[in-house]
Structure 1
Amino acid sequence: MDGSTRDGTRISRLGISRRSALALAAAAPLILSSRTAFAADKLRIGKSVGTSFPFTGADLGLAKGIFASEGIDAEVSVFRGDGQMQQAMAAGAIDIGLGSGPGMGYAVKGVPGIAVAALAGEPRNMSLVVMKDGPIKSVDDLKGKRIGVTTAGSLTDWLTRKLSDGKGWGPHGIEIIPMGEMRTRLAAMKSGELVGSVNSIQETWNLVEQGQGRLLATFAEAVPDFHTHVIFAHRNLIEKNPELVRRFLRGWFKTAHYMRDNRADTVKFIASTMKISEKVIDESYDYELKMLSMDGAFNPKAIETIRYSLKDLGVLDRIPEAKELFMPGFAPVKL
C-alpha cells in the first residue's frame, strides 16, 4: 500500500517518490536521444583508387547520409591500387575495401579481406582509344599492331590479350607495350609508336573532349562475364559483426540505386569528387551504370573467368577454387 512520509510526499509500492517519477519521465527523451546519438558504428572504407566512377559511390553515400541512415559512421580512404589497399586490410587499417575482381585472389594468399558482394560486372568502363585521325578504324585493324597498357600483368594487359584471343589471333595477336601513365602512352600515340591505348572510359572521353582521341571499343564484348569491381570485408568484421557488414551493403546498394535514379546530381557530384568535367562524367555515365550491380549478386560465369584470370595475371600460381574467392551469405542484397 502507498504511504506518506512526514512531509506528506506520497510513496509508491516500488518506493519511488512522485517527484522522482516526474523527473525520470522528463529525462526519458534525453536518454533516448543520447542513445541514438551514440548508435552509429564506425566503419573504415578503403577505395583501391580515387579515380573510379563506381568507387565514388562511397563518397556519395556518405555525403547524402545514406550510410548514416543504416547507423554507420563511415570514414573513406583512398589507396594507390589493390595491393596497397589489401596491405591496409591486412594491417587492420580498414574494414571494407572497394577493389577489382582480380583482387579476389589476395584472399587465397591469406590476406584477411574477402569478397562479400559484386560491385560491377563486365568491363564497360575499360576502353580502347585511338588517335582521332589515325589509321585504326575498327577493332579488326588491331591485328599485329602495338597497343599501350599500364604494366605487364595488369588488368589492362590481360584485357588486351583476351580481346586478341577472342578475335582468333591468339593471346599475342596484338603487340602489348607496357608504358605506365596515360600521358606517356598518349605521347607514344602521337609519335606513331603506338596505335592506341587501354584506358578508363573517363580518360578516353577526356581525350575525345580535347579533340585528340576516338573511342574504338570497350571491353564489355571481349569479356562479357566478369566482375570488374567487388566489395571486400575483413574476416574479423564478418566474424564479430556480420550485421554491420549487411548494413553497409544495404547502404552501398541504396547508393547504387540513387546513382541510377538521379543522373544529374550523380554526374555533378562525381565530377566534383574526381575533378573531371561534368561533360566527361555524363558521357561515361551510361557505360558505368550498365555494369553497376544493384544487389551485389555474384555471377557464376564471372567467377569462373576470374578464377582463370588470376593465374594468367600472375596473381596466383594456380587456378583457385571458386569457394576460396568469396564469402557466401551476404549477396544478393534485398532493400
Structure 2
Amino acid sequence: MSSRSRKLLAAALVAVSTLVAGCGALDEEAEAASGRSSVLRVGLPTGVTSFANADIVVAQQKGFLADYGVAVDIENLRSGVSVVQAVEEGELDVGAASIEPVINAVAGGSDLVIIGAYSDRLAVAAVTPREILTPADLRGRPLGVQEVGAFREVMTRLVLQQAGLTRNDVQYVPVEAQSYLAALVDGRIQSAILQTEQAVAAAHAYGNLHVLSNLFDIVPNYHYGTFFVKRSWLEENRERAERLMTAITKTHRFMYDNKAETVPIVADATGFDDLIISEAYDILLRDRQVFPLNTGLDPDRIQNTIDTMDQLGILENGAPPLDRLLDTGPATAAIKQLGERAGSRR
C-alpha cells in the first residue's frame, strides 16, 4: 500500500470513528429526551440492603443482569413508602418494596403495577427484651416503626393483634431501618421488626434480646416483597421488564443452589459477617424458602394479604382489583424462557 493510500485509509477510519461516536451521542440525547435511560434506576426500601432484597445485588455481582442486557443503578431509601413515592414521581424506574404501600397507592388511583416478587414469604421477626414473654406484654411500651403504613408498622400491628392490642395501646417511636438494633440495645424501644439477619445478629451479640414472634408463623399466607413500576413506563419498556425479571428469577434459583457463592455477596451488601449471613441463609432459603422459584405472584396469597390489610384497618381506599394491581406478563415471560420449576410450591 502506498503512503498516499495509507493516509487516505487513516483519514477514512477517523471519519468513521467520529460518525459512530456522534451516533452514540445522538442515541444518548434521544434517550434523555424521551425520558429513558439504558440503566434502570432501582430503589430498595431500606437504608442498608437486607438479605430479603439482596437478590438484585447477587444478580448484578454474578452477571445475570448483564447476561440479559440489563444494567441497574441501585438506590437505598428509608422505607417502602418512600420507594413508592419515588417511582410515582419518575425518580425511579423500578421499585422494590413490601406490598402494603403499593396496594394502597393503586387503591388510591396510582398507575403503579406489580411485575414480580423478590420474596413472597415473610422474612422478619419481632425482637424484644427477654422480659417481654408474650405480645400482651407490649402494652404501653415504646415500639420502633419506620412510619405508619410502612412495612414494619404493619408487621407490628400483626404482632399486637395476637394479644388483642392496637396501635393505640402502645407508643410508636420512629426509627431508621438500620438503627433498630441500636435502639433496642439502648432501651429507646422495646420491640422492633427485624430482618432475619438482624435477628440472628441480635441473638448472637445480646443475651438480653430474643425473638418474640416470627411473622411467617403468624401469617404464613402473606405476600411480602414486590417489584413494581408505573404502568405507563411498562407500556414503553415491557421487553426490558421481561429481561429484568428473567435475570431475577435465574438469580433466585442460583441462590438456592449455591450457598457458598451467595453468602459473601449478601454479607457484603448487608454489612453482616459471613457467619451471620450463613445462619440467616439456612433460615430463609432452606427452612422457609422465601425467594420464589417461579413467578412468585400467587393471586390467592396476594388476595389474602389484601384481606389481612383490610382486617387491620390499613387498607386506605378499598381493595384494588387484582388486574389493576398485577401485570404478570414480565414474570410469566421469564418462566417461559427459563422453564418452570416442576413441583415448586410457586
The 3-state SS of whatever aligns with 1:238 is helix
Which residue of 202, 209, 218 corresponds with 1:207? 202
Q: Deviation at 1:113?
A: 2.9
May I ask how many residue pairs the two structures share in their alignment? 293
Percent sequence identity over matched residues? 19
Distance 1:83 1:131, change over 3 A: closer
Per-residue CA deviation, residues 280-332 of structure 1 (Å, 9 max, x unaligned), is: 21221133321111222322232123323445363523233333321233334
TM-score of the aligned structures, taking structure 2 as reference length = 0.73
Q: Deviation at 1:152?
A: 4.4
Q: Deviation at 1:222?
A: 0.7
Amino acid at match of 1:179: V
Amino acid at match of 1:197: A
Which residue of 159, 175, 180 corresponds with 2:174? 180
Contact 1:127 1:198 in 2 (8 A): yes
Distance 1:131 1:238, change over 3 A: same
Contact 2:53 2:119 in 1 (8 A): no
Range 50-59 or range 147-156, more displaced: 147-156
Contact 1:118 1:297 in 2 (8 A): yes
Mapped partners of 2:150, 2:313: distance in 1: 7
Mapped partners of 1:162, 1:46: distance in 2: 26
1:293 alignment partner in structure 2: 292
1:254 alignment partner in structure 2: 250
TM-score of the aligned structures, taking structure 1 as reference length = 0.76
1:48 alignment partner in structure 2: 45
The 3-state SS of whatever aligns with 1:298 is coil
Task: Note the 1:81-230 alignment, pairs <5 A.
Answer: 81-105=79-103, 106-123=105-122, 125-132=123-130, 134=131, 136=133, 141-146=134-139, 148-150=143-145, 151-165=147-161, 167=162, 169-172=163-166, 175-181=169-175, 182=180, 183-188=182-187, 194=190, 196-212=191-207, 213-230=209-226
The 3-state SS of whatever aligns with 2:217 is coil
Per-residue CA deviation, residues 29-83 of structure 1 (Å, 9 max, x unaligned), is: xx9xxx9xx9x94322222223321322212211221111101122222222122
Q: Unpaired runs of 5+ in structure 1?
A: 1-26
Contact 1:107 1:324 in 2 (8 A): yes
Contact 1:116 1:231 in 2 (8 A): yes
Range 285-294 or range 319-328, more displaced: 319-328
Contact 1:225 1:299 in 2 (8 A): no
Structure possessing the higher radius of gyration over alpha carbons? 1
Distance 1:155 1:87, change over 3 A: closer
Q: Unpaired runs of 5+ in structure 2?
A: 1-15, 28-36, 339-346
The CA RMSD measured in Å over matched residues stands at 3.3
Q: Deviation at 1:208?
A: 1.1
Q: Deviation at 1:135?
A: 5.8
Contact 2:135 2:212 in 1 (8 A): no
Distance 1:286 1:174, change over 3 A: farther
Distance 1:77 1:153, change over 3 A: closer
